[in-house]
Structure 1
Amino acid sequence: MSSKKELSETLGLSCVEKYFLAWLGRYYDVRRLYGNSFVSIGQVSNDFSRGATYENYCHIPRLQDIAEEYGVVRHSYQLCETSEALKKICAQTSDELCLIRVNTRFFLNFKRSSWREDHYVRVDKELNWLNEYPLSEGKFTEEEFGEIYDGAVCVYELSDLTAEPEDKTIEMIRRQSFPPPSINIGRFEDAIGILRMTRKRMEKNLNLPDSAREVLRGEIALLDRLYLFVSLREIKKKKGVRLSAETPEEELGQILEYEKRLWEAVK
């Protein structure tokens, strides 16, 4: 079973992606999967201005899908009753990843619930569980399992750990254009979250030249500050504080400049 620390340090966008990276990272250099993670600031700006959301963002392929496409792993997904799910969970091997879909009763003892309607929790054969959000762990009794189980089990297993997915990062950076970014403040946190996570993945990409990775480190520092800004803004908003509807245009311009420098570093 992965630890909470391992899970919190992954560069995943969804709960399943984070469980997957924490698990696979024990057997495989997951940086090899980051070669399709680039999305341009223009694309992000356009998508979130049209109503895209962080939890369902579709312009970045899921890393578990890339790993399966290139044969690194394979998986099975089964809709089944509680008794069958327990059999499947207890039959898992020590090097497999077993996830179960949970219902809203799972969150009754938490102050927060998941962003998505379909939420998954990692479970081992002893019914020890690990949850990505809120970050937590525990152990189910069979009775508790039956109460929170929502009818689906997903199991990943290792396949070809020598497989090397294609890296398209440099090609995608070179193809981008630089329209002035404009993101509605209502979607700003999600948009910055996507840019921040993808740039962190790219900075780990050893196929990029050092000059490009240095640019990315500067951009990530800026995105971290912006993410903190919008997170604090959301807290104030929930407390009823009246806030300006303006986005931080100066910082958006700085992100654009970093993206241009990144393009220069790989052209």
Structure 2
Amino acid sequence: MKDPAHRPADPTPRRTLSFALAVVMTTQNLLAAPEPPAPSLIARDPMIEVSVDSLEIGETNSSVLGLLWGDTANPGGNQINFLERTIPSLFNVGQFDRRQLSGQLDAMIKNNQVRVLANPTLLTKSGFEANFLVGGEIPYPQVGQGGVSGVDYKKYGVSLKILPQITPKQTIDAQINVNVSNPDPSVSIIIGDPPTRVDGLASRETSTKVEVRDGETVVLAGIKQSRRQKVITRVPILGYIPVLGLLFRHKDEQVTQTSLVLFVTFRLVKS
């Protein structure tokens, strides 16, 4: 008979020990794992709020506001002294505290001296582009061998693209691109059968780079626009008589000059 002391060891305790060891090690790893940070402590990408006010101002009103560059500050008056940088042929750039002009603009809007085209508020990350378009789309017929085969739409108006970047000193470095396009009858063409007149698009584009503080406003001004409008005046009753009514009718063409002014305000979004 074999000595019981020389029996082979039962493998069960080894397996149990191994399992228990694995459990202990797993528990230790869980205990050693760092706790996830509180949501308020998680670092988020800095955000920038860009508020754009697109206004159409008549030439006389823009001179009152001091938006025609070259004006100087008038103590006690209503002109603003801008820190200007001139961009030839398209627009001028100025930086100022928005509170200086808000009251005047509000009054002129109420008096219908200024027309608000759009006032969007854009939110973007630092280093990412924000853009908007105020305008519309023009239908352009597509002509094939069998005539007009479809319609393509081209955008026109004022397109603004802004790429803001927060600097180490907590200012905002902004790349601003502006494109102004509008229908131009002087470059129209005749296409299709029956003939269809299609106006071309006149486009101007430029860019600038500015550095502003939190809450400062950049003004883009000097974008001139002209509107031609045909006005027909008639003598009551007589002016509507066929053929004879031409003697009691007068045609006139009115040209309206306006300036498009963009107010772009930058604000840091506090997390």
TM-score, normalised to structure 1's length? 0.20
Q: Which has the higher contact order (CA 8 A, sep 6+)?
A: 1
Using the size of structure 2 for normalisation, the TM-score is 0.20
Larger radius of gyration: 2
More strand by share: 2
